């Protein structure tokens, strides 16, 4: 193993999750902290399998990449630390906080609505939105999506995972062909993505 060791991250034995990865992609776990090393496992966001457990340390390579050592279903592996985090397990509604700073609860589409939410939750820093679960229509009234907002102004917080609920605003001007004119935010449940680990259901 080459690189500079570091231990600022979740402690050994702490559960970790894939974060900041799109729902249609996976994070690769490799035999060494090197993008060219063999892949021993993959994991997608929100998946409960395989289990990912921190080994409590990582390395910074000469290229400046941060890798974290983990066990994936018991097998030792390495993954890009930028796409790993510890989740507190507790969801909190942040809808009222979002509505204070968001100009309106509607947007032309789900992607725009999610970007508006991310803009508010990241303090206007323009962090990109990653859909860790594809937006789906639950029924004719609305749907749900899950987004990861990575990069917030807090050393202990890597980002936030936010469960969005939205309602369709229908344009019925042509009764024979109603269309969705806008989507409206109806709920936002947030779970912190912790950079250093979790204690008492909070980031440390």
Predicted local confidence at residue 1, as pLDDT: 57
CA atoms of 44 and 17, how far apart (whole Å): 9
Specify the pLDDT at position 127: 73
Residue 194, pLDDT score: 94
Is the bond into 50 cis (omega within 30 degrees of 0)?
yes
- pLDDT attached to residue 181: 95
Q: How far apart are CA 191 and CA 155, in angstroms?
A: 16
Burial (CB count <10 Å: 0-12, 13-18, 19+), residue 175: exposed
Model confidence, pTM: 0.93
Q: Are 45 and 21 in contact (CB under 8 A)?
A: yes
Whether domain 4-87 has CATH 2.30.30: the reply is yes
pLDDT at 31: 97
Find how far residue 197's CA is from the centre of its chain: 15
- Domain coordinates in residue numbering, the chain: 4-87, 92-203
Q: pLDDT tens per residue, the chain (204 residues)?
A: 578 999 999 999 999 999 999 999 999 999 999 999 999 999 999 988 999 999 999 999 988 999 999 999 999 999 999 999 999 988 999 999 999 998 889 999 999 999 999 999 988 776 778 999 999 988 989 999 999 998 776 778 899 999 999 999 999 999 999 999 999 999 999 999 999 999 988 999
Residues 6+ apart with CB under 8 A from 64: none
**pLDDT for position 156:** 87
């Amino acid at each position: 193993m080459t690189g500079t060791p570091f231990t600022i991250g979740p402690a050994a034995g702490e559960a970790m999750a894939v974060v900041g990865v799109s729902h249609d992609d996976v994070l690769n776990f490799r035999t060494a902290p090197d993008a060219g090393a063999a892949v021993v496992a993959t994991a997608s966001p929100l998946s409960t399998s395989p289990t990912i457990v921190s080994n409590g340390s990582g390395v910074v390579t000469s290229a400046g990449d941060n890798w974290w050592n983990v066990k994936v279903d018991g097998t030792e592996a390495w993954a890009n630390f930028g796409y790993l985090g510890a989740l507190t397990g507790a969801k909190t509604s942040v809808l009222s906080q979002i509505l204070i700073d968001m100009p309106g609860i509607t947007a032309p589409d789900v992607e725009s609505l999610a970007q508006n939410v991310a803009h508010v939750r990241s303090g206007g820093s323009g962090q990109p939105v990653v859909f860790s679960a594809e937006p789906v229509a639950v029924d004719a009234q609305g749907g749900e999506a899950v987004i990861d907002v990575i990069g917030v102004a807090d050393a202990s917080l890597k980002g936030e995972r936010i469960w969005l609920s939205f309602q369709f605003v229908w344009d019925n001007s042509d009764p024979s062909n109603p269309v969705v004119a806008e989507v409206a935010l109806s709920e936002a449940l947030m779970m912190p993505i912790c950079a250093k680990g979790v204690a008492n259901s909070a980031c440390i």
